[in-house]
Structure 1
Amino acid sequence: MRGRGGGNRHAESRDPGGASTSARRTLRDKVRTERYVPRMVRHGFRATVPLLVLATMLSGSSCAGDPPSLSTPPTQMIPSAGVPRSSGITVTPEQLSISDPCGLLSPPALSGFGRVSIEPGSQFTTCQGAISLADGGTASVSSEFAFRPHEGASLTPVDRNGVTVYDAPGDSNGCSRYIVVSDHATITVTAGLARRPDLLCDIANAAIDGMLPQLVRGGLQPADLPADSLGEQDACRLFDHTEIRRMTGIDARQVHPAFNGQGCEWNTGTERGPSVLVSFRRTTQPKIDERTDRAITIDGRTAIADPWVGGALKLPSCEVQLVHPPLDRPTSVREVEQLSVSVYTEAPEESNCVPAIELTSAALGRLPRG
């Protein structure tokens, strides 16, 4: 099964900037570097899984029995921006948490480069723009709300119209600019995918200049999501460490929330240790396109269980992707909100599907019905 942009979700390579080439690795990294903002999570029902599918998966389960609960909660890992707040802005982290990242990308500010189109990103905290350049090529530009600038970025503070903007050196892969709203909230603008790398930093700067008036006066466009949207939920509030251990056998020592509660990872604090990853995203309807994929239904919701054998960087895993109420985008592309639950343990990949399905069922019972 492949992610939003195509390609193999299980690839382990990274680009020079530290970003992942796989949707799963990208989400896992985001959970470790983005912001936690509490959201309301509603009560509900317990979902069920077809007995034939569940019986098949249980035959290889590594989670027999219910381990005793842990008394010590895991440590919440929320990274810091590592640089001072940008001067000259009045916008607050609270405003950012309820704002639409697409409201910050201004087509008029970018129109000097070509025809601009803007649409929501696959994460509720991202927005994607495409620019049809005058020379026939294309470029991309994105805005993203995150905990901090990209890990390892070399930052230079630059004054742009009275606002401190943190510049990172550009290269042929992209160019990023950062507005630091607080120690745990950052606006990232990145330009990339152009045949003319010399334009990338100019595009990023233009995008920043286009959003500065909103940031200075503190008036941001609200996200305006329905109350039952996954974009209004908090993944870390779906489970506590005792449930994670009971359902998976994993003794979580750390919890890594994503910005605005849009993902959460429970792990043992080691790079290749067992973990549980929950994330929310906007994407196309999941499809079976690998031999190991399984179509399942959980309380009437379409879902796919996707086991994987693991690799040098990741343990064997199973990801369950479950469809939330569909979305209609301006481009008329039929998309869905998706709950993704992945379990990584040192066990046959099929065995990981049992706790992944159980966790997904429990999560569905705690999310609004939609």
Structure 2
Amino acid sequence: MRVMAEAGDKVADRYLLQEPIGRGGMGVVWRAHDELLDRQVAVKCARPDDDRAALRLTNEARNAARLHHPHIVSVFDFVEESEVCWIVMEYVSGGSLADMVRDRGALTPEEAGSIGRQIATALAKSHAEGVVHGDVTPENVLITEDGVAKLTDFGISRALWSEATMTRTGGVRGKPPYLPPEVARGDAADRKSDVFSLGATLYAAVEGRSPYGEASHPMAYVARAIEGYIETPHRAGPLVDPLTALLNVEPKRRPAADQAARLLRRVAPPSAHLEHLEDTYEDPHDGETLDRTPFTMRLLPPSVRGAWRRPSRRVVITATAVGTAAVLVVWAALFGPWGGGHSDESGRSGKDGGSGASGTGDSLSQAGRAGTVGDARTADPCKLLNAASLSRFGETVIDPDYGEIDRCDVLLHGETGDDIADVQLNFDADPPEPGGDVPTRRIGNVTVGAFQREGDECVRNIASADRKQIWIITERLDTPAPDPCQLGDAATDYAVSVLDRGQVPRRSAQPVASSLVSRHACGLLDGDELKRMAGVRVKDRDPGFGDWRCEWADGSSDAGVELEFTRDNDFSPEGAERAEIAGKLSSVSPEEWDDDSCLVRMLHRSYRNSLGDDTVELMSLNVYGSKPTQKLCQTAKALAATAAKKLPSA
């Protein structure tokens, strides 16, 4: 096998390498031809030298791929071949901002302001998605031939909830001339750090040097950053005030990315073609919320909600397709986890199905006190969602078999059939806590809480009369799409209308014997097993809603085990080690949920849900504590093998 890729090589039997166009910290970037779609693409080639580097590269692809914005370089594909990883990206014909300054000299304040405004809007989108770039520099700002600026290379970026990457200079992440002072002092990069680096990039574009001045050694820049030493600009003209704000040494005094875009817009309003390019993108900020009342509650959204990979579906159930939905309900009642159907492996004509809920609200069982959830294991989350009631926002499809077992989703589709928004409803066994500042209103026997919108996500909470919680989480997945808070309010109104008539309706049938739905998570492990294998002296046991999730902890929150039953479209763990545990296909992911943790996912069974889509049931087991990661993974695999013995035959 050749050591280096060459022109004429083909990646994934599709991308024909043509010529190298750049070199980054992790590999070479090639211009290539996508023979399937007949287009030019940029392909980054890297040979990670260890598992950490491979994980970092995977994170680069994952973070960038979920960011759709006219000023962010799009990621199209990720390919692993032997020991080589390839990230397939949008090809930008122009060079970088660094190339422009090197070839032409310093830019005018108006030119730099225009580029900065575009990149600030890209950062606003990135931050709304929970992604910090962490490496905003002139080299990572590409400029097309018609003046469109695009942010690229999320190679050291990180999702806000995941592990920070370890690209460092002298123990500090990032490139020293553009390093924020707080990062130089050892803090993790955050949104305001990106804003500082953007300011440093624009300063260099107009002044020809770093805001820390000229230095002969990288550590000299780091020292000046730690001191907070910023040179006064002399060529910035009308850009002085925005630069002063962006380069404030105190992060709290810097503007957010969207505010930075507005400051820079005053210096350089967008041209006609840029304004046309951006007119489909909406500012990711607060939508409408419910009116505040004097009563407030402390409502804590589930920390892992929305963490599962969303499906991409083209099967649509609209308001005019209720008849088809009713047929699917009958199918699910006969063949789903809640019916008496046969598995794919049985050779019978029936298929395993979903939870058997159409969300149409027909023939709802309303026994029980109004506004209550009632028995957790029979309460049907899909009976609180209604696809037809949301059809005014677009084409809708209900997805009863994704993520947690106490969860149901309605997906909205755009004109191309791609998902543009998701409405997720979950049950929660934890009682709401009084106090806090979340606006609420009392409706019948329930209390509705309205969280402030954060980027493309909006959260609503319904506190039931029997002190359980119902979470409605709406997320905009693409543009154009409806405001997530308006969508969430509509879904909440329907759920409240059902609760006003009685208890949450029941699931339509008993679960099939082979389904994880029929098992209790807390019954799969006992205190002796946890002490012997994990060294956890169980003081706290927290069963989740319906006992489909369980957490055992030592009382200090320093060590424990979490086990949960979930569903997905398929079993395709990304960046995880594949393994066979207790005869079942599994994956092992060190530090998936936290730095000191190890997660095992085990495939239990495959079936067809009520929409006819392939679906899998999984058991996820996470071990956390202060032990070495390798030891945590050994423990997680051992506990998963023990728990698997008590699972039903698939």
TM-score normalised according to structure 1 size:
0.67
Question: 2:420 aligned to 138, 162, 167, which one?
Answer: 138
1:109–1:209: 8 Å Cα contact kept in structure 2? no
Q: Tell whether the 8 Å contact from 2:431 to 2:467 is kept in structure 1 after alignment.
A: no
Query: How many Å apart are 1:116 and its aligned residue?
Result: 0.9
Structure 1 CA distance, aligned partners of 2:552 and 2:446?
35
Assess if the C-alpha contact under 8 Å between 1:159 and 1:165 holds in 2.
yes
Matches within 5 A, 1:23-172: 23=307, 90-120=370-400, 121-132=402-413, 138-148=420-430, 154-160=437-443, 162=444, 164-171=446-453, 172=455
Partners of 2:370 and 2:503 within 8 A in 1: yes
Give the Cα–Cα distance (whole angstroms) in 2 for the partners of residues 113 and 289 of structure 1: 33
How far does the alpha carbon of each residue in 1:165-197 deviate from its partner, in whole angstroms, 9 at most, with x for none? 413133133333332224541122222216579
- 1:187 corresponds to which residue? 470
Pair 1:11-2:162 in alignment: yes
1:137 Cα shift?
8.4
Residue 111 of structure 2 is matched in structure 1 by none
Structure 1 residue identity aligned to 2:516: L
Query: Paired residue for 1:211?
Result: 495
Distance 1:349 1:278 in 2: 18
Aligned residue type for 1:129:
V
Q: Name the SS of the counterpart of 1:97 in structure 2.
A: coil
1:84-135 Cα distance to aligned partner (Å, 9 max, x none): xxxx961544344312212211112111111111102310011111123689
Question: For the structure 1 residues 96 and 208, does the alpha-carbon distance in structure 2 shift closer, same or farther, using more than 3 Å as the test?
Answer: farther
Aligned residue among 292, 305, 308 for 2:588: 305
Structure 1 residue 350 corresponds to structure 2 residue 633: no
Report the CA distance between 1:364 and its aligned residue.
Answer: 1.6
Query: Does residue 175 of the first structure (1) align with residue 461 of the second (2)?
Result: no
Taking a change above 3 Å as real, the CA distance of residues 149 and 11 of structure 1, as seen in their structure-2 partners, is farther
Question: SS state of the match for residue 638, structure 2?
Answer: helix
Matched residue SS, 1:260: helix
- Output the CA distance in 2 between the equivalents of 1:12 and 1:182: 39
Deviations 1:20-75 (A, max 9, x none): 59949xxxxxxxxxxxxxxxxxxxxxxxxxxxxxxxxxxxxxxxxxxxxxxxxxxx
Name the SS for the 1:366 alignment partner: coil
Q: C-alpha offsets along residues 137-185 of structure 1, whole Å, 9 cap, x if unaligned?
A: 822211111124888974333255x454413133133333332224541
Match of 2:586, SS state, is strand
What does residue 58 of structure 1 align with? Answer: none
Cross-structure match for 2:352: none
Q: Which of residues 261, 270, 279 is equivalent to 2:564? A: 279
Q: CA RMSD in A?
A: 3.9
Greater RCO (Cα-Cα under 8 Å, separation 6 or more): 1
Decide which of 546, 553, 566 is 1:260's aligned counterpart.
546
Structure 1 residue runs of 5 or longer lacking an equivalent are 25-87
More moved, 174-183 vs 147-156: 147-156
Contact 1:99 1:223 survives alignment (8 Å)? no
Alignment counterpart, residue 505 of structure 2, candidates 195, 220, 225: 220
Amino acid of the structure 1 residue aligned with 2:463: V
- CA 1:22–1:351 in 2, change beyond 3 Å: closer, same or farther? farther
For 1:193 and 1:150, the matched residues in 2 are separated by 26
Query: Would the alpha carbon gap of residues 127 and 18 (structure 1) be closer, same or farther in structure 2, given more than 3 Å must change?
Result: closer
Separation in 2 of the partners of 1:19 and 1:173?
Answer: 17
Give the Cα separation in 2 of the matches to 1:230 and 1:139: 28
Where does residue 29 of structure 1 map in the other structure? Answer: none
CA shift, 1:282, in A, is 0.4
Answer with 126-135 or 184-193: which moved more. Answer: 126-135
Q: Give, as a single letter, the amino acid of the residue that structure 1 aligns with 2:567.
A: R
User: 1:318 and 1:169, CA in 2 relative to 1: closer, same or farther beyond 3 A?
Assistant: closer
- Which residue identity is paired with 2:505? L
- Does the 8 Å CA contact 1:179/1:187 hold for their aligned counterparts? yes
Cα–Cα, structure 1 residues 220 and 327, in superposed 2: closer, same or farther, change >3 Å? same
Aligned counterparts of 2:586 and 2:621: Cα–Cα separation in 1: 11
Counterpart CA distance in 2 for 1:257 and 1:196 is 40
The residue identity in structure 1 corresponding to 2:493 is D
Verify the 8 A CA contact 1:12 1:20 in the aligned structure 2. no
1:221 Cα deviation from its structure 2 partner = 4.2
2: CA distance between counterparts of 1:352 and 1:337?
24
Alignment of 1:217-256 (within 5 A): 217-218=502-503, 220-222=505-507, 224=509, 225-256=511-542
Task: State the identity as a percent.
Answer: 25
Matched with 1:293 is 577
- For 1:256 and 1:89, how far apart are their aligned partners in 2? 26
Pick closer, same or farther for the CA change 1:22–1:353 going to 2, 3 Å. Answer: farther
Query: What amino acid does structure 2 have at the position aligned with 1:175?
Result: C
CA distance in 1, matches of 2:419, 2:569: 26
SS in 1 for 2:464: strand
**Conserved in 2, the CA contact under 8 Å of 1:278 and 1:339?**
yes
Q: Return the offset for 1:323.
A: 1.3
Query: Match of 2:646?
Result: 366
> Using a 3 Å threshold, how does the CA distance of structure 1 residues 12 and 159 change in structure 2: closer, same or farther?
same
